[in-house]
Chains A and B, each alone.
Chain A
Amino acid sequence: MKMKANIVRCAVLLFIAYSAPLVVADPAAHLRNDGKSYYVAVKADPALWDGKDGKGARVVSPYDLTKQIVASVFQKGRQVANVVELADSYGSDFILRLPDSALADGVSALTVAVQSYPVGEGRMSGFTSSVSNEVSATVELKGRAACPAGFPLLVQFSDADVMTPYGLQRIKDLRDYMEKTRPAVQVESNTGKEAKPRDVKTQTKFFTDPDKDSGGRFFQCLELTDEPPSGTFDIEFKYPETAPIELRRPFLSKDVANAAHTLAPFTVDESQVGKRKLEQNLDASFQFGSSVEDKKEKNAAGVEEPVRKRNSKGTLDLRLAPFLNVLSLPDPGEKTFKFYTPLLIDARISTGKINEDTLALNRIILGSEYEIRRFTNPSTYPSYQRYIFSFRNASDRDFKQAEWKGGFEFQPVISALNRPLRFRRKSVNPILDKDPERAPRDVPTTIGFGGQVLPLIGVEAGKTWRNKHTFAAIEKTTFVRRFYFGGTINLDLTAYVKVSVKDVLYVRGEAQDDDPLHNYFKGTIEVPFPAITRRSASSAFFSFERGGEPPFATPDVNAVKIGYRVQWDGWFGQRR
């Protein structure tokens, strides 16, 4: 008998659900709480009859009107409430009070079916509506600008365009609750085998008072007493079962990254020590090699004989800058960035004697750098000027020769000359996916010309303050002074051929008589090939290099290189 009644109810629900959209506009059903229990507040559309006749005289009392309404709340097709009561004080037409058990699956499982209600004298209507919350709560990591060490739990209106008086009051109630109650926390590291509990700090910060001016929203910064694990992890905040319904579900944030440091790709860095980019606080690598070889040594009788000897060598490549930049971002309205690295160490040294077999440049640079980067056109193709001031001490590993020098370099980047082909992209709507909400694709331009001209000009001056080399006495001067200018031109002849030319001319004050001008040139042509596999890329290159760079201690280079370069990742399904 009971089953038959349920089937009839479901049939009625389905019938109304099918026919209701044809006759009604936008009814609403919200889950609310009046301090005693939860109820569904229904706002009918078409509007509920006010019980007055055409002349404005009341003919039916609100109580009797309510008795004419036939409505039920269903939870996954099962009826959980059907007693209609008078409206609440927040603008609903009528309410249906819920038993506690109805909220076990959350608000999303609830549907209200109004089989019939009066819309006028002798006229009835009906509708169905899913039940929703006017207020929602989420862990919003985008709020970490103000809450960098915590997890912002954001409470706001589910629909910012509909700020109901009940919603505003509810948000205030939730804030009061959150001030008194802290959620339980579980953290599961992506590399761990189990979830581990954590605690939320007792004193938590709240941001913005929940009122109409704030858009009816606020967030609480939930900071943990112990740091979450490094790397990627899932974190869940869970309030007690007795918490307000909006906070009762677990708040799960997945794949949260805790700034685990990713390794920069390991590449051979051929740049001169002192000219290399400093983008990490510490970038150090060590190398150790050991081999056995035959060497001729004189024995006690003074006769050379082969001796088997082990030869071990180690190298250290170090870039250290404890404070990469101690200056903050431009002030409001300003377009100039300032960077100051108070201390930097750039070194490549090896063990053993410094001779032709050495494995490193054996140079150590210590210094500091200050850069003013002024944007005159911060657009898609920006124009800016880089003014780089540096003070450095350069020495060899054994501190036999050392020089200090101050330098200034100017690198203008001009919008009209800063148009590489890879900057050019076009928005194209997806063809296969007809979803209008789908984001358009960015298509890179492959046919066309692009280029970059990056000029530079600089001076450096200093003094050789230590020279223990054998020929130090015959050096003409210890005053090091250089002026240099030049630049780099990168040309994209379609996306398939790239040409790069770098030329810098040095005017050497310290060698005015014997070597006043010194040029360095490097030209490269690169032809990227079609990918071998989905995870690989390759290109052929040709380069010509001629000249020398400071400190001009080694003979000039004159070299032609032809090569083939392959980049490949994802071997054995592994990525890093």
Chain B
Amino acid sequence: MASDARVKAILADELSSRAAARFADAGDKWTKKEMGFFFPENENTVDLCVLAALDRALEHDGTTVPKKVRNNVAQLISTSTKAKDAIVTIALATFQPTPK
């Protein structure tokens, strides 16, 4: 159940280590950039980055999500997704189903 703020910090950390030059170039408006700005024309590197952010958020919560949810996150976030939307998608993917 990661908050948007925590996922934002995790994704910023991932992007600054994976796409350092692009992240520095985007400055404090990095959330308004599309993921393809950091990883041009490569869905695989976008997948690896957002899944790393999701896994770190889940590890922090001490929870996991089914593989299907991880796959859906990778499918929902592509090179044309803005970073701020990726943050919300990752944060909401950490929500756990509650018993009735």
Contact = CB atoms under 8 A, between A and B. Distances in A.
Given A140-B88, A160-B3, A373 B44 contact: yes
Interface stretch (A27-35, A50-58, A203-211, A472-480): A203-211
B74 A382 contact: no
A498 B29 CA distance: 33
Contacts of B22: 380
A90 interface: no
Contacts of B10: none
Interface in B26-75: 26-27, 29, 32-34, 37-42, 44-45, 47-49, 51, 55, 59, 65, 67-74
Interface residues of A, number: 42
B91 to A, nearest CB: 9
A425 B49 CA distance: 20
A330 B40 contact: no
A142 B89 contact: yes
B30 to A, nearest CB: 9
B3 A215 contact: yes
Contacts of B34: 442
Contact of B98 (A142, A154, A160, A206): A206
Given A152-B92, A160-B5, A214-B1, A378 B97 contact: no
Contacts of A177: none
B92 A382 contact: no
A138 B7 CA distance: 20
Given A207-B96, A207-B97, A426-B25, A144 B72 contact: yes
A88 B24 CA distance: 49
Interface-centre pick from A333, A379, A423 (highest chain B CB count, 10 A): A379
Contact of A207 (B3, B21, B33, B95): B95
Given A154-B92, A215-B1, A208 B51 contact: no
Contacts of B1: 208, 213-215
Contacts of B59: 332
Interface-centre pick from A146, A213, A329, A384 (highest chain B CB count, 10 A): A146
Nearest to B42: A382
B3 A439 contact: no
Contacts of A442: 33-34, 37
A233 interface: no
B9 interface: no
B18 A379 contact: yes
Nearest to B45: A378
B48 A378 contact: yes
A422 interface: yes
Interface of B: 1, 3-5, 18-19, 21-22, 25-27, 29, 32-34, 37-42, 44-45, 47-49, 51, 55, 59, 65, 67-74, 76, 85, 88-89, 92-93, 95-98
5 contacts: A218-B95, A219-B92, A423-B40, A427-B33, A439-B33
Given A154-B92, A207-B95, A375-B48, 16 more contacts: A142-B76, A143-B89, A145-B73, A145-B76, A145-B92, A146-B65, A146-B95, A148-B68, A208-B95, A218-B98, A329-B71, A378-B49, A379-B19, A380-B18, A427-B33, A442-B34
- The 7 A-B pairs of least Cβ separation, nearest first, read A439-B32, A207-B95, A143-B92, A145-B93, A145-B72, A332-B55, A214-B1
